[in-house]
């Protein structure tokens, strides 16, 4: 694909954390011919709508950042919604892109596709080498399906569908919701609330699991880099190579927020992937 700033780029999920970061970075780099559709304008769960949209627009490149996402509680509470919504969105966009001869696409996956007790550091070849973490298994299976669809279409139809697996992302546009948040916004919310109310700070799990975090704008930069450069593999992990324990992360957030009370880890709640 010949890359130019005038080419038409569709960002699916442009209002989410990853999608909005992609839009910011694309515009900063001079890509202004962007196709952005909100849910009211285009229902990605509707196969006919997605096909008709891609048939009429014919973008040169598709960034697939649309997904139903959430933290450990959301994944554990809404497994049917997570597996259905994500599988359907992926199926619709990937297949409609192929049918409309759109051969260049980047699919945003998730590091939760890897086994629960995966060797460290995590490498691409560890995919499907062990059991998944039960709390987010439906979401992970949907993301594995998306990856395998891209791999299969590349193999059979010679498309250029790239899959990127980011580590845990944070930054502008994240979800600050007591039931649906990922770990960083969830901790910020809880810590601020405990500070304002003068209560102890109660956090889930033991604090022992480690997580690797990546600023979402840096992730967006890497996705655009892969669009601009010829990359001949189907999928790639993207991260920083450094991790931090949940306990140490909590201490950082406590210090930044200025919370002076007691921090209590509730071992009766889930830790998630170790």
d(CA 39, CA 18): 16
Place of tokens 């997904």: 67
Q: Is 31 a catalytic residue?
A: no
Contact 80, 30 (CB under 8 A): no
- Where does the chain show beta strands of DSSP type E? 9-12, 34-35, 61-64, 104-108, 160-166, 168-170, 201-204, 210-211, 213-215, 235-238, 244-245, 263-266
Which of 139, 157, 170, 231 does the annotation list as catalytic? Answer: 139
Q: Measured in Å, how far apart are the chain's first and last C-alpha atoms?
A: 41
| DSSP SS3 for 214 | strand
Strand partners, 35: 10
By annotation, the residues acting in catalysis are 139
């Amino acid at each position: 694909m010949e890359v130019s700033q005038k080419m038409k780029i569709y960002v699916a999920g442009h209002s989410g954390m990853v999608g909005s970061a992609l839009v910011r970075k694309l515009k900063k780099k001079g890509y202004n011919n962007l196709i952005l559709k909100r849910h009211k304008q285009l229902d990605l769960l509707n196969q006919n709508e997605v096909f008709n949209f891609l048939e009429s627009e014919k973008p040169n490149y598709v960034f697939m950042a649309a997904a139903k996402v959430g933290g450990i509680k959301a994944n554990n509470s809404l497994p049917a919604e997570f597996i259905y919504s994500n599988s359907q969105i992926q199926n619709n966009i990937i297949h409609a892109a192929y049918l409309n001869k759109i051969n260049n696409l980047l699919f945003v996956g998730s590091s939760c596709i890897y086994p629960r007790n995966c060797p460290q550091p995590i490498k691409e070849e560890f995919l499907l080498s062990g059991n998944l973490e039960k709390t987010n298994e439906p979401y992970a299976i949907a993301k594995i399906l998306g990856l395998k669809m891209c791999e299969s279409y590349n193999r059979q139809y010679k498309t250029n569908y790239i899959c990127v697996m980011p580590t845990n992302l944070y930054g502008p546009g994240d979800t600050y919701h007591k039931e649906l948040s990922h770990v960083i916004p969830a901790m910020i919310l809880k810590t601020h609330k405990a500070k304002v109310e003068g209560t102890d700070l109660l956090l889930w799990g033991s604090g022992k699991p480690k997580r690797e975090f990546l600023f979402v704008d840096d992730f967006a930069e890497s996705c655009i880099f892969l669009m601009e450069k010829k990359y001949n593999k189907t999928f790639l992990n993207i991260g920083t190579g450094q991790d931090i324990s949940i306990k140490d992360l909590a201490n950082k957030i406590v210090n930044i927020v200025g919370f002076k009370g007691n921090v209590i880890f509730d071992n009766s709640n889930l830790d998630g992937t170790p």
